[in-house]
Amino acid sequence: MSCVDLKKDSKEVAYQKVRCMWNKYREEFRCYNFTGVSVADANVAKFSMDTGLTSFLVIAVKKYKLDMNFIDPADGKTLMDFLKEQLEKYKNFKYTEKAEEYERIYKLLENYSAKHAKDL
C-alpha cells in the first residue's frame, strides 16, 4: 500500500513512504465489526491497544515515527484521549497490569509529541 520497493528503496525512503501512506489514510485504517472493544469501528491504533496488540503501536511510533495526532471519526477523540480514558478505567477497576501498560504507552506517545483533541 505504501509503494515501498524492498529491492530498490533505502530504509529511510521506505519509512518515508510508510509515513506518507499513514498520513493520507490513517483515519480510514479501521477495524470493523469486532465485539468487546471500547470503540466500535475504531482506528487500527486504538484497536491494537484495545485487543492487547501494543507492539503494533510501539513499532509504528518508535520505528516508523508515524504521527498519531489526528481525531478518529469513530469517536471524535485522539489516541491520547482514548488512552487516558482507558487508563483511568483500568485504575478504577484496580486492573494494575493493564493500567501500567496503558500508562507506558501513554508516556511513549507523549514523548513522541502525541496530543489530545483539545490541543490540535
pLDDT tens digits, 78-98: 999 999 999 999 999 999 999
pLDDT of 68 over the 90 cut: yes
Choose among 44, 50, 24: nearest CA to 32: 44
Tell me the whole-structure pTM to 2 decimals: 0.90
Residue 88 forms part of a structural domain: yes
Residue 82 forms part of a structural domain: yes
Residue 79 forms part of a structural domain: yes
pLDDT on residue 35: 86
Residue 3 forms part of a structural domain: no
Residue 70 forms part of a structural domain: yes
Q: Per residue in 22-61, pLDDT tens?
A: 999 999 999 988 888 888 898 999 999 999 999 999 999 9
pLDDT on residue 77: 96
Q: What is the mean pLDDT of the chain?
A: 95
pLDDT on residue 15: 97
Residue 33 to residue 90: CA distance in whole angstroms: 24
Domain count, the chain: 1
Q: Per residue in 11-24, pLDDT tens?
A: 999 999 999 999 99
Residue 2 forms part of a structural domain: no
Residue 85 forms part of a structural domain: yes
- What residues make up the domain containing 68? 28-119
